[in-house]
Every structure is written in C-alpha cells, then in structure tokens.
Amino acid sequence: MKLDYLVVGCGLAGIAFCELLRKQNKSFAVFNDQSQQSSIVAAGLYNPVTLKRFTEVWEAQVQLDLAIPHYAELEQLLKVKIDYKLPILRRFTSIEEQNNWFNASDNPALKPFLSEIIIKENIPGIDAPFGFGEVLYGGRVDTDVLIDKYLRFLKKNNLLIDERFNYHNLVVHQKNLNYNNLQSKYIVFAEGFGVKQNPFFKNIPLNGTKGEVLEVEIPDLDIEVAVKSSVFLLPLGNQRYYVGATYNWHDKTNLPTDDGKEELIKKLKQFVKLPFEVVNHRAGVRPTTVDRRPLVGAHSDYKNIFVLNGLGTRGVMIAPYIAKALFEFIENGKPLPDEININRF
C-alpha cells in the first residue's frame, strides 16, 4: 500500500499532525502501542501564564489561536465534548504575591491574560486568606477522552496499526520508505519519551520528567474553577477533582509511587480543608528538554524522516503549533522557527 505519511505515536502531537494530514487529503497510517503515558495522564490544562513567576508562556497567543479551533474541530469530528473553558484562580500566599500580580497585570504581554481584580470571596473548604488572581482564556482538554475517541476514529477508518513500531523493519530510500507491506513518502515520529528507544533520534536532547497525578473525590467541595496553589486542583465533575502534578527528573518509569502520592496529598491539604478520598493515581514521563522548547525537524541524514517531540508540560497548547510548523516545513519548504528546530543543538 502506498501512502503519503506514516505517523508513529497518537498522543497530542500525533493527533494534531494527523488532523492536518486528514484536512489536506494526505493518505496516512498511524502506529500506536500506547506504551507512553504522558498525554494520557496529562491534566489537559491550557494556560497562557506561568503562574509560579507570573510570566507569559512562550508564544502564548499564537498557540491559543491555533489550539482553540483545533479542539473545537475535533469535538465536531468525534462528536464528543473535550474542551472545557475554565477560569483559573491563582491562590495568593502573601501580600507580596498580590503586589507581584498587579505588577504582572500591567505588563503589556500579560495584560490580555490576567484580571486586575483580586478575588476575595471565600470559597467554602479552600483556605485562601489573601485571595486569588484570575487567569483569563484558560481551560482543560479531556485528553483521556480525546485520545480514546481519536484511536476509535482511526480504527474505524482503517488508519490505525495497533502494534509497536519495529524500527528494524523500516527501509529508507532516497525518495520513499518501506515498512513491511507499506510504502510512504515520509515518516513522522511523535512518540514522546518513547523516542529514547528510537535509533534514528535516540540522541536528541530529550530529558524526560516524570509526573504523577491523583484523582480525588471531595464530596463537600463544589467549584467550577481550577485552583493553582502548590499543586493544581481541577474539577472533573461529580465531586471528582484532578490533583497534580509532581516533577521527578530521575525516575523514568510510568509507575505511580508512594512518595509521589504522599507529596500530592500533603500539598493538597495545605489549602483544601475538607475530607477527600483518592480514587485514582497515575504516572507518565513528560518529554521535556533543556531549554523547554519542542524538538521538531528532519533527521540529519535521512530527509524523509522527521521528529515531532518535546512538548513538555504544555502539550495541549503546543501540539497544534508545532504540528502546523512541521507540516508546512515538509509540504511547503517553510523554515522551522529556530526555537523548535532540532538543528539548534
């Protein structure tokens, strides 16, 4: 079978790239073995501001302008709700943090995203003596539902190869590639941290940061906002909440740990003063980089082999942006932005 593209990986990056292929009538097939958990365990939060230091997220407006319609189109395609617009409240721990917020909201780059009004209303069950600042244009994409439904869509349309990709079976020619009975012009690896096993890109500077998350039930809490304190608290409906996440730079497994669970519970108790029950605990390795920028581009020797990776902690926003950049690079010869090009290393 002759195809335009083979895509390896069906997380946020892989889905974003496949959607461009589908809309441009490119023929493709997707390999997915679900070995990487980063997109699956992601909170799915999109947020244009770094709330630890009150700084603008890199290319925030450009990314939002692509991401919002991308997920809206996926909702129509898959006939399911995945994008939940959500106010994000940054819990202040001091007067100094309030002042820092006011200073940040005067910054022209941040002004569109930060409310200048301190929210002092009491939220029953949440300790916040210094109030909250509100981030605008935030939300949550249900990555669980998105990936599950998209895989079903691919399978229904005979576009899914539900098996582990065997790199040794890939035969590279100057103008095409062969994989078993498939022939394609190009192949795109969107494997997340799994790329460390990829002989074509195993040496790219991808670090990997393990993150653990909890799903908790808080019967007496009823909020429809995300709260950012030492951890994020995101409403999932029916008194269920997402709590996350941890950052571990040494453990590269997808296994939840007692230490991770205890850390999240301890931090949650610092501001949630209600009884809760842990109902789920998951972990995954984020594809992070030294400079916190994605890794996109062509193999140094094989110009029909590409990588789409390094989304880090902001995959929901970044995925449509880098997918578009790679597609235009391959199809139209448009140069990749220097910040994401793997040639920067």
Where b means 16+ CB within 10 Å and e means fewer, 298-325 reads bbeeeebbbbbbbbbbbbbbbbbbbbbb
Pinpoint the residues of the chain covered by CATH 3.50.50.60.
2-44+144-206+290-344
CATH class entry, domain 87-137+209-286: alpha beta
Residue 36 scores a pLDDT above 70: no
Strands 2-8 and 28-31: parallel
Spatial contact of 294 and 310, defined as CB atoms under 8 Å apart: yes
* Cα separation of the two ends of the chain: 36
Is 299 a residue whose pLDDT tops 90? Answer: yes
pLDDT digits (tens, 9 = 90+) for 119-145: 998 899 999 999 999 999 999 999 999
Which residues sit opposite 85 in a β-bridge? 139
Query: What are the pLDDT digits (tens) for 38-87?
Result: 776 678 999 999 998 889 899 999 999 999 999 999 999 999 999 999 99
Question: What are the angstrom distances between the C-alpha of 261 and each of 16, 74, 91, 126, 279?
Answer: 31, 33, 22, 20, 12
The secondary element (H helix, E strand) that includes residue 329 is helix 315-332
Residue 341, beta-bridge partner list: 296
User: How would you class 168 by CB atoms within 10 Å of its CB: exposed for 0-12, middle for 13-18, buried for 19 or more?
Assistant: exposed
Say if CB 322 and CB 314 are below 8 A apart. no
Pairing of strands 240-244, 132-135: unpaired
Q: Which CATH code for domain 2-44+144-206+290-344?
A: 3.50.50.60
C-alpha span between 314 and 288 (Å, rounded): 10
Quote the crossing angle between the two packed helices 12-23 and 143-156, to the nearest 10°.
40
Are the beta carbons of 285 and 193 closer than 8 angstroms?
yes
**How confident is the model at residue 227, as a pLDDT?**
97
pLDDT in tens, 255-297: 999 999 999 999 999 999 999 999 999 999 999 999 999 999 9
35 falls in which pLDDT band (50, 70, 90)? low
- Alpha carbon distance 17, 188 (integer Å): 9
Quick check: pTM over 0.85?
yes
Sign of the torsion formed by the C-alpha atoms of 288, 290, 293 and 297 = negative
Cβ atoms within 10 Å of 125's Cβ, excluding its own = 16
Tokens 């497994």 correspond to what residue?
A: 253
Structure tokens at 59: 């290319």
pLDDT at 214: 97
Query: Whole-angstrom Cα distance, residue 244 to residue 170?
Result: 38
Q: How many CB atoms lie within 10 A of CB 270?
A: 13
Answer yes or no: are the C-beta atoms of 252 and 210 closer than 8 Å.
yes
Residues of the chain within CATH 3.30.9.10 domain(s) are 87-137+209-286
- Here the tokens at position 275 are 């009884």
The token pair at 158 is 């005979």
